[in-house]
Amino acid sequence: MMSSKYNEGVRLVRVSRDHHGQRLDNFLAAQLKGVPRSAVYRMIRTGQVRINGGRAKAATRLAEGDEVRIPPARIRGDRSVTVSDQVREQLRNAIVHEDADLLVIDKPAGMAVHAGSGLPWGLIDALRQDRGDEFLELAHRLDRETSGCLVLARSGPALTHLSAGFREGRVSKFYLCLMTGRLPQAVLEVDAPLARRADFGGGRVEVDDAGKPSITRFRLLRQFDDCCYAEAELLTGRTHQIRAHARHIGMPLAGDRRYADRQSLKLWKGRGLNRIFLHAHRLVLDAPDGRDLEFDAPLPEILRRVLDTLEAGGPG
């Protein structure tokens, strides 16, 4: 049976140097262990959480010295989750790079980066459980369905530097994708603002003149009869940007359950694809110590098999 209790009363927490630049929602998730992430977002949305006396949004970046008001919250007594040894070993084997400042991991498809929306744990929780008390924070995010390079900070100063790099467009991000249809030219830049559709169950973004500026550059790598293999470069970093832009130009990504239609999903399932064909294969960034770093994650085997079948002139 589920048991529950309340944490202590209202707390005023001063943001330390290690958490400078961290998103408010991630800061609260760490402060309110055992509280469902949906409850954390509700507290922010209803104004129960305050920064220096004022309301804030989930994506607000904290600064050293900020005072955060944290209200009492109900803690589920059964929220203690143990991540399996198999998953922890899988993530150890997926490490692309590690140094004193950052950790780069080849995130598996189907694994969320954090708990929430009915998920008891995410990649960050599994890594923290595996590494004990080590400082680890997400510098950016990948969709649950997307695989590939994911960067985590290993210190507060590194988090500040890396988060700012992603936020300010100083990180070059390249994805491999399979698009339905034919690209009209070798390089196609889609410059179309995106906004979230609140009326769509599960959340979706679409092109909207009132949305945030969003630019994706698609480069054709291989054209097939009814689809094309391409590299997508993110020139901005919006939620679902590649997926929404691909759909906008009438070329939804293969296997995309959120943006492609049922007929397309059925077609790709028949070709052996049971996930979205989207992989974050390359990142270029400047490290906190001033080095220029580049990381690559190979195309997952399941995606490689689909591509090999197409190149061999198989179905489709």
| Residues labelled catalytic | 143
Q: Distance between CA 163 and CA 153 in Å, rounded?
A: 9
Q: Within 10 A of 114 (CB to CB), how many other CB atoms are there?
A: 18
- Strands 187-191 vs 278-286: parallel, antiparallel or unpaired: unpaired
Q: Distance between CA 49 and CA 69 in Å, rounded?
A: 5
103 DSSP β-pair partners: 98, 152
Q: Distance between CA 298 and CA 103 in Å, rounded?
A: 17
Q: Distance between CA 178 and CA 242 in Å, rounded?
A: 11
**By three-state DSSP, how is residue 285 classified?**
strand
Q: Distance between CA 297 and CA 299 in Å, rounded?
A: 7
CA angle 178, 184, 185 (to 5 degrees): 95
Instruction: Supply 152's token pair.
Output: 């985590």
**By three-state DSSP, how is residue 16 classified?**
coil
